[in-house]
């Protein structure tokens, strides 16, 4: 199959067998895609496959996690057939724990992405970050985590504006032209929203939704949106195996 190769339409391989074909070659270069799903639907596995492909292409890759146990994450990847040890040792792949207690968490993330010259970045997951308490100061020109003492005119923390500003700020960090990013988002069971913050789905370039049908013992993947891409909206059956993760059936 032939794909467009103009600058504005370059694609980045997803690493998921059958998904590149559904996306005219992969994720649009420079885009941010939300990987949304209820617990256990395979969001982290989508990220592993994405970074594994990057590693194989000799690209610089970053896995940002809000989970302290990076060892567990690497073990989990191993069990699915991904061996990241070599890439981590050589510095081609970095796992970075984002400490939400630290009031420099945004800046840490920003600095790492700017300085690291990564071409593939994953944030797993956006949900705890988007839910952390923040102060919106200087009429929204700045967002700072609570705990910083230099606070003036804060917006109410539970306001939709505050959440929207905070999520926008987080996503903007990932919108660096040079990198193509995936961000996972937890959907609450039974909710019709695609994220718990209910705004990130509007701010990203693409959305993949992962689903389970326990009664049929089936898993599904749906492309809900993808900037500049003609794609089907039909849910596709997928399977997860220990030999490389998710594949489209």
Q: Which does 240 bind (CB under 5 to 8 A by kind): Mg ion, ligand ATP, none?
A: ligand ATP
Instruction: Rank residues 136 and 209 by Cβ distance to ligand ATP and give the closer one.
Output: 209
Which residues inside 86-145 make contact with ligand ATP, applying CB under 6 A? none
Instruction: Rank residues 74 and 240 by Cβ distance to ligand ATP and give the closer one.
Output: 240
Distance CA(171)–CA(200), nearest Å, equals 8
End-to-end CA distance of the chain: 19
The residues pairing with 148 across neighbouring beta strands, listed in sequence order, are 146
Residue 37 · residue 187 · CB < 8 Å: yes
**Closest separation in Å from C-beta 240 to ligand ATP:** 4
Distance of CA 191 to the CA centre of its chain: 20
Distance CA(59)–CA(73), nearest Å, equals 20
SS3 123: strand
Q: 31-60 mask for Mg ion (x: CB under 5 A)?
A: ------------xx----------------
Residue from 79, 192, 230, 234 in contact with ligand ATP (CB under 6 A) = 79
Beta strands in the chain (DSSP E): 11-12, 27-28, 32-37, 61-65, 93-97, 120-124, 134-137, 142-145, 180-186, 206-213, 218-226, 236-241, 245-248
Instruction: Rank residues 34 and 144 by Cβ distance to Mg ion and give the closer one.
Output: 34
Instruction: Rank residues 44 and 163 by Cβ distance to Mg ion and give the closer one.
Output: 44
# chain residues binding ligand ATP, by CB under 6 A: 14
Distance CA(55)–CA(85), nearest Å, equals 11
142-145 and 134-137: which strand pairing?
A: antiparallel
Q: Which does 41 bind (CB under 5 to 8 A by kind): ligand ATP, Mg ion, none?
A: ligand ATP
39 makes contact with ligand ATP (CB under 6 A): yes
188 makes contact with ligand ATP (CB under 6 A): no
Instruction: Rank residues 130 and 229 by Cβ distance to Mg ion and give the closer one.
Output: 130
Q: Which listed range, 34-42, 49-57, 114-122, 168-176, lies at the site for ligand ATP (CB under 6 A)?
A: 34-42
Q: Which does 37 bind (CB under 5 to 8 A by kind): Mg ion, ligand ATP, none?
A: ligand ATP
Binding residues (CB under 6 A) for ligand ATP: these are: 37, 39-45, 79-80, 186, 240-242
């Amino acid at each position: 199959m032939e794909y467009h190769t103009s600058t504005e339409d370059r694609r980045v391989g997803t690493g998921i067998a059958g998904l590149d074909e559904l996306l005219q070659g992969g994720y649009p270069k420079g885009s941010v895609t939300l990987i949304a799903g209820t617990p256990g639907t395979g969001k982290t596995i989508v990220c592993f496959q994405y970074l594994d492909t990057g590693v194989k292409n000799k690209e610089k890759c970053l896995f940002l996690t809000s989970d302290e146990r990076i060892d567990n994450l690497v073990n989990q990847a191993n069990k699915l057939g991904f061996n990241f040890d070599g890439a981590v040792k050589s510095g081609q792949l970095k796992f970075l724990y984002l400490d939400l207690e630290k009031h420099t968490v945004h800046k840490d993330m920003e600095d790492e992405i700017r300085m690291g010259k990564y071409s593939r970045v994953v944030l797993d997951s956006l949900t705890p970050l988007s839910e952390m308490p923040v102060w919106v100061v200087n009429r929204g020109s700045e967002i700072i985590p609570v705990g910083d003492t230099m606070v003036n005119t804060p917006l109410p923390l539970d306001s939709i504006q505050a959440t929207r500003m905070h999520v926008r700020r987080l996503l903007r960090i990932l919108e660096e032209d040079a990198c193509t990013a995936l961000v996972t988002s937890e959907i609450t069971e039974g909710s019709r929203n695609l994220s718990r913050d209910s705004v990130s789905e509007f701010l990203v370039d693409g959305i993949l939704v992962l689903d389970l049908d326990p009664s049929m013992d089936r898993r599904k993947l749906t492309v809900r949106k993808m900037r500049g891409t003609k794609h089907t909206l039909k849910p596709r059956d997928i399977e997860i195996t220990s030999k490389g993760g998710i594949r489209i059936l």
